[in-house]
């Protein structure tokens, strides 16, 4: 509060303003004049004229019903007219870049007094910068776009391009060479999977799942086949614009007919008579960012099996939005290809070698999802720890109930185990070649992905029980819980359904079982 005309008054003075037409209250030693606002108060006039509120210290009542962010909105900040003489506000006012002091709200490596074998000062510097960026740029746009369902603001994409965040989200590699990462915080050759984990986990804190995918989820899965399997000419034409967010790309594999069953896909690519072009026909469904994509990394049935081709938006390509249970911000599309002609030079990898192209990125894609899931769960733990401390039932805080504490215990255990397993796998990734990762980590990552999303769903269910009706209400105290509970099933499906992944993990085990090991 910066108003220089702020009053200094005593609690007795505030107590005199205790009725409709002359109504003050105290929240955390700050005095608010609600006289003119009272009739507009969304919670009604009666709540404010209550004997225990009007003219009184209403801190506890306020925080039982409102999120802190309400007090930070300019229209409500204006209601503050002064402070209580001789008192200092004691509540922590959230600000951009903050590290939470709530236990388990941060992974141990970010918690004071704890240690980590994995994170260096350089990772910490990137984390600090990325958190501030998320709080200042991403979260406000994310919350506004979740409301209006529009695409993320191009200005945000541009700012991210300036800092090379789009490039960093593709992980370590040659594509980072010559780029200034986050104003020079990390050198391209130093950038490793822990840096990428930091970027992903910090972005997730914005608590907007549809926007999260709208924030170029399509690029994270659609560009790697171009980077790793495209011709030099194709890469030179496509990659710089995509990493600068001037053009957008998506991965178009799943169809109404087939999802995990890639060989069941029905979109066809047939060579033209002169052999110079593919002619593509078919449709794709649930394609993240497809609505606004310029490029489509498309899985096609070809004479030799399955082939991946980069299609550019043009004649014969149509996209229309699918209404999913998260926001339209993600740009989820149904796509039709009607005799779309594409130069054969746009083939990604070998003709008939599409499975290899797809499989080669699955590990990384699933690992990214584990990073998101682990961090999103932790945000829910923080929400629940705060709520159960400030909400009273039967005259006591919710956390005085053993049944509530049991739920909190389970949530914390799930968040911690997911993060710790993730950090271990990330360390393996940093030390293994791409080939070693493919053979040694496919099972580990499949297990972790399946484990983290099933943990996430249990945590979502527990959180709704803890928040009650607020856990199913889109605004107010439980808004993040409602959002999480509604959108968490996405993570359990994308990149492979839980059962499919668990089975994949066990099949990897069976392949490597030593023949000479007997009971
Ligand atoms: C600076 C003072 C206050 C401001 C700016 C304010 C503002 C608001 C706003 C914006 C909402 C809508 C909540 C949402 O959807 O998130 C709300 C709801 C509510 N407010 Fe206040 N309020 C204030 C003080 C109080 C106090 C002291 C009480 C006393 C108990 C109160 C009782 C309520 C109730 C009962 C609701 C409905 C909550 C619900 O639907 O769960 N408000 N208030």
Q: Are residues 343 and 252 in the same domain?
A: yes
Closest CA to 279 of 249, 305, 253, 309: 309
Residue 476 CA, closest ligand 1 atom number: 16
Q: Is the same domain home to 206 and 303? A: no
Output the pLDDT for position 366.
95
Q: Are both 342 and 471 inside the same structural domain?
A: no
In a domain, 95, yes or no: no
Distance from the CA of 90 to the center of ligand 1, in angstroms?
21
pLDDT band at 435 (very low <50, low <70, confident <90, very high): confident
* Residue whose token pair is 């910490």: 124
Task: For residue range 78-126, list pLDDT tens digits in order.
Answer: 999 999 999 999 999 989 999 999 999 999 999 999 999 999 999 999 9
Q: Does one domain contain both 441 and 466?
A: yes
Position 496 in a domain: yes
Q: What angle do CA 157, 158, 161 make, to 5 degrees?
A: 90
Percent of residues, the chain, with pLDDT higher than 70: 99
Residue whose CB lies within 8 A of the most ligand 1 atoms, among 14, 41, 76, 469, for a mutation test: 41
Residue range 371-396: mean pLDDT, rounded: 96
Does residue 131 carry a pLDDT above 80?
yes
Provide the domain count of the chain: 4
Say yes or no to pLDDT of 438 above 90.
no
One domain, residues 125 and 256: no
The secondary element (H helix, E strand) that includes residue 238 is helix 232-243
Tokens of residue 284, six digits: 């794709």
Q: For residues 478-517, b (16+ Cβ closer than 10 Å) or e, as one string? A: bbbbbbbbbbbebbbebbbebebbbebbeebeeeeeeeee
In terms of domains, do 30 and 147 share one?
Answer: no
| pLDDT band with cut points at 50, 70 and 90 for residue 317 | very high
- Provide the whole-model pTM: 0.94
Q: Can you spell out the DSSP letters for 405-444?
A: HHHHHHHHHHHHHHHHHHHHHHHHHHHS-HHHHHHHTHHH
Q: How many Å apart are CA 290 and CA 250, to the nearest integer?
A: 6
Domain shared by 333 and 366, yes or no: no
Whether ligand 1 lies within 6 angstroms of the CB of 45 is answered as no
* C-alpha span between 497 and 450 (Å, rounded): 8
| In-domain check, residue 345 | yes
Share above pLDDT 90 across residues of the chain, in percent, rounded to a whole number: 92
**Which helix or strand (DSSP H or E) is residue 229 part of?**
helix 224-229
**Same domain, residue pair 319 and 411:** no
Tell me if 12 is assigned to some domain.
yes
Are 79 and 150 found together in one domain? no
Ligand 1, pocket-test mutation among 47, 59, 74, 468, most atoms within 8 A of CB: 47
Last residue in a domain, options 200, 215, 230: 215
Q: Are residues 335 and 366 in the same domain?
A: no
Ligand 1 in reach of 70 Cβ (< 6 A): yes
Q: Under 8 Å CB-to-CB from 159, ≥6 apart: which residues?
A: 133, 137
Residue 231 included in any domain:
no
Q: Are residues 21 and 114 in the same domain?
A: no
Residue 1, pLDDT above cutoff 50? no
Average pLDDT over residues 505-510: 94
The answer to whether the CB of 42 is under 6 A from ligand 1 is yes
Q: Which pLDDT band, with edges at 50, 70 and 90, does 434 fall under? A: confident
**Hey, whose CA ends up nearest to atom 6 of ligand 1?**
41
Question: How far does the centroid of ligand 1 lie from the alpha carbon of residue 44, in Å?
Answer: 8
Would 236 be classed as within a structural domain? no
CATH of the domain at 504: 1.20.140.10
Distance 42 CA to ligand 1 centre (A): 6
Kindly tell me if the per-residue pLDDT of 320 is higher than 70.
yes
**How large is the average pLDDT for residues 330-345?**
97
Tell which of 298, 328, 352 closes a domain. Answer: 352
Domain containing residue 250: CATH number? 2.40.110.10
Residue 52 has pLDDT above 50, yes or no: yes
Output the average pLDDT for the chain.
95
Residue 98 belongs to a domain: no
| The ligand 1 atom nearest the CA atom of 479 | 16
Q: Encode pLDDT of 64-73 as tens digits.
A: 999 999 999 9
Residue nearest to atom 20 of ligand 1 (CA): 43
Give mean pLDDT, residues 53-63: 96
Question: What's the pLDDT at 2?
Answer: 46
Report the greatest alpha carbon distance in the chain. 91
User: Which two structure tokens, joined as six digits, stand for 389?
Assistant: 């401390």
Q: Is residue 433 part of a domain?
A: yes
Question: Does any ligand 1 atom lie closer than 6 A to the CB of residue 173?
Answer: no
pLDDT at 260: 64
* Atom 13 of ligand 1, residue of closest alpha carbon: 476
Distance 43 CA to ligand 1 centre (A): 5
pLDDT tens by residue, 211-233: 999 989 999 999 999 999 999 99
Q: What is the pLDDT of residue 439?
A: 86
CATH code where residue 148 lies: 1.10.540
The CA 142 to ligand 1 mean position distance, Å, reads 24
Note whether 366 and 343 are same-domain residues.
Answer: no
Answer whether 333's CB lies under 8 Å from 255's CB: no
CATH code of residue 76? 3.10.120.10
**Phi, psi of 489, deg, nearest 5:** -65, -20
As a whole number, mean pLDDT of residues 405-417 equals 98
155 lines ligand 1 (CB under 6 A): no
In this predicted structure, what is the pLDDT of residue 400? 97
What pLDDT is recorded for position 258? 80
Could you tell me the residue range of the domain that residue 150 belongs to?
A: 110-215
- Residue 201 and residue 116: Cα distance in Å, rounded? 17
Q: Which pLDDT does position 4 carry in this prediction?
A: 57
* Ligand 1 mutation target, pool 44, 66, 69, most atoms within 8 A of CB: 66
């Amino acid at each position: 509060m910066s108003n220089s005309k702020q009053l200094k008054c005593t609690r007795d003075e505030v107590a005199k303003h205790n009725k409709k037409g002359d109504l003050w209250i105290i929240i955390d030693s700050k005095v608010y004049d609600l006289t003119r606002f009272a009739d507009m108060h969304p919670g009604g006039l009666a709540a404010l004229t209550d004997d225990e509120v009007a003219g009184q210290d209403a801190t506890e009542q306020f925080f039982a019903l409102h999120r802190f962010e309400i007090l930070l909105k300019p229209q409500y900040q204006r209601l503050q007219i002064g402070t209580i003489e001789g008192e200092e506000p004691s509540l922590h006012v959230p600000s951009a870049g903050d590290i939470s002091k709530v236990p388990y709200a941060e992974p141990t490596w970010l918690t004071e007094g704890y240690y980590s074998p994995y994170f260096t000062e350089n990772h910490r510097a990137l984390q600090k910068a990325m958190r501030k960026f998320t709080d200042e740029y991403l979260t406000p746009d994310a919350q506004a776009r979740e409301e209006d369902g529009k695409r993320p603001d191009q200005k945000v994409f541009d700012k991210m391009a300036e800092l090379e965040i789009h490039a960093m989200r593709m992980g370590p590699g040659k594509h980072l060479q010559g780029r200034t990462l986050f104003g020079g915080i990390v050198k391209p050759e130093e950038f490793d999977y822990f840096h990428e984990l930091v970027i992903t986990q910090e972005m997730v804190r914005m608590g907007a799942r549809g926007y999260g995918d709208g924030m170029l989820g399509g690029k994270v899965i659609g560009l790697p086949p171009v980077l790793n399997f495209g011709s030099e000419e194709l890469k030179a034409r496509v990659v710089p614009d995509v990493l600068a967010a001037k053009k957008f790309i998506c991965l178009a594999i799943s169809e109404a007919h087939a999802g995990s069953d890639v060989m069941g896909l029905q979109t066809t690519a047939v060579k033209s008579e002169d052999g110079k072009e593919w002619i593509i026909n078919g449709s794709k469904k649930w394609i993240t960012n497809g609505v606004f994509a310029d490029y489509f990394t498309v899985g096609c049935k070809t004479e030799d099996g399955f082939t991946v081709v980069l299609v550019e938006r043009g004649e014969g390509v149509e996209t229309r939005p699918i209404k999913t249970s998260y926001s339209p911000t993600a740009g989820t599309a149904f796509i039709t290809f009607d005799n779309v002609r594409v130069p054969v030079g746009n083939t990604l990898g070998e003709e008939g070698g599409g499975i290899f192209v797809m499989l080669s990125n699955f590990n990384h894609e699933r690992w990214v999802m584990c990073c998101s899931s682990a961090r999103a769960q932790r945000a829910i733990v923080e929400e629940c720890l705060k709520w159960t401390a400030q909400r009273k039932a039967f005259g006591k805080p919710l956390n005085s109930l053993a049944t509530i504490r049991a739920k909190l215990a389970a949530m914390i255990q799930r968040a911690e185990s997911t993060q710790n397993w993730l950090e271990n796998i990330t360390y393996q990734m940093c030390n293994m070649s791409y080939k070693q990762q493919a053979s040694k980590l496919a099972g580990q990552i499949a297990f972790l992905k399946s484990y983290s999303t099933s943990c996430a769903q249990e945590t979502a269910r527990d959180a709704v029980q803890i928040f009650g009706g607020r856990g199913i209400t889109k605004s107010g105290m439980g808004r993040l819980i409602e959002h999480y509970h509604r959108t968490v099933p996405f993570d359990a499906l994308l990149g492979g359904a839980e059962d499919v992944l668990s089975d994949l993990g066990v099949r990897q085990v069976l392949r490597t079982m030593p023949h000479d090991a007997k009971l």
